[in-house]
Amino acid sequence: MAMAQDAVTIAGATLRLVQGDITDQHVDAIVNAANSTLLGGGGVDGAIHRRGGPAILEECQEIRRTRYPDGLPTGDAVATTAGRLPARRVIHTVGPRWHGGGAGEAELLASAYRSTLARAREEGLRTLAFPSISTGAYGYPIEAAARVALGAVADELRVHAGAFDEVRFVLFSAADLAVYREALRQLS
């Protein structure tokens, strides 16, 4: 595993940490930290719908009508158009709300990352940008979330070697980037 401070190579894919806004990422798929309604919200969800435009919400509403009348389950993921975003697709996933750690949160968070990567593989999307899922409004402690997130993505890159070129974690603050840096260091 080649090491720099903010990037590692795993089975030929680059896992990279960056600080920035997820809606600025020029990748195949931007990942949304959605909620089960798929009808928008604040944080990442708000930024993606605001910048991506109404086409994204229209597709989300269609997905709710035709496939998920009761909402997208936590840990699952669906893909839509990226609208005006600099990406081909948006993959919406629902992370767990934090309830103290005894309600299967870690497994549900890992599932959100794995399901997102599965949707990407299904559509041949080779570069992705993830936000730090569940560590905002959903209250998941970021140190624990970073370990789960990087571990799940690293495992998937190994299991599906050759499926991806780059998986990026886009951290909104320097503090969040520092937490993920430490988790990445422990991963190696």
Interface residues with ligand APR (CB under 6 A) are 21-23, 33-35, 41-47, 95, 131-138, 170, 172, 176
Three-class DSSP category at 56: helix
Place of tokens 């990445």: 184
Which residue among the candidates 6, 28, 45, 155 is catalytic per the annotation? 45
Concerning whether 45 is annotated as a catalytic residue, the answer is: yes
Cβ at position 11, least distance to ligand APR in Å: 26
The DSSP line for 109-124 is HHHHHHHHHHHHHHTT
CB-wise, 44 or 163, nearer to ligand APR? Answer: 44
**Cα 13 → chain centroid:** 16
Cβ at position 21, least distance to ligand APR in Å: 4
Burial of 66 (0-12, 13-18, 19+ CB in 10 A): exposed
CB-wise, 8 or 132, nearer to ligand APR? Answer: 132
CB-wise, 129 or 163, nearer to ligand APR? Answer: 129
Cβ at position 3, least distance to ligand APR in Å: 24
Closest CA to 31 of 154, 155, 125, 142: 125
Which positions are catalytic?
45
